[in-house]
Copies of this chain bind each other. A is one copy, B any other.
Amino acid sequence: MKRDAQMKDIPTCQTGTDAETDFDLPDFFPYQTRVFYKCVSEAVARVYVDEYGMKPYEWRALAILGMSNSYTPAELVTLSSMDKVTVSRAIASLSKRGWLLSRSNKKDGRSRILRTSAEGQKVFSHLVPKMRAVEQEILGGLSQDEISELRRLMRKVVDGS
């Protein structure tokens, strides 16, 4: 796979050396995070796009519903870290594909209980090992200890904010 050109390939020619303006984007943690995120999410997207032409939100919703036998849309919102509008659209498009069934929620008439159809579950089961494979591929250069450490540190950042 071709690597993107790196920051260092282009000279930076600082305007001045005052402490305030001496800012180096490639060393800026949020920038590194964005590059890192893009790289990971693109690798995953290749799988569900190539295999089924799915949208990111479709995969995310299916990944959650495939695990369980019943969630409400609100639970999907919590679990997916997606907006409720996005979840609503994910449900609509997965239903349209015939991968999702819903029944009414006796406990709350405003809500409903969602579950994958047999077809949807099949798609999920087909994708899971592929997703595991990409995960391995992404983390391929890291040792088990490094993987655990990376996960731990990411969690620490999230929990701290």
Contact = CB atoms under 8 A, between A and B. Distances in A.
Nearest to A142: B156
Interface string A30-45: 1111111111110110
Contacts of A144: none
Given A25-B79, A44-B30, A39 B161 contact: yes
Interface string A119-157: 001001100110110110111111000110111011111
A138 to B, nearest CB: 6
A33 B34 contact: no
Contacts of A32: 151, 154-155
A75 interface: yes
A9 B141 CA distance: 33
B67 A25 contact: yes
Interface of A: 1, 3-5, 7, 9-10, 12-15, 18, 20-21, 23-25, 28-41, 43-44, 60, 63-64, 66-71, 75, 78-79, 81, 121, 124-125, 128-129, 131-132, 134-135, 137-142, 146-147, 149-151, 153-161
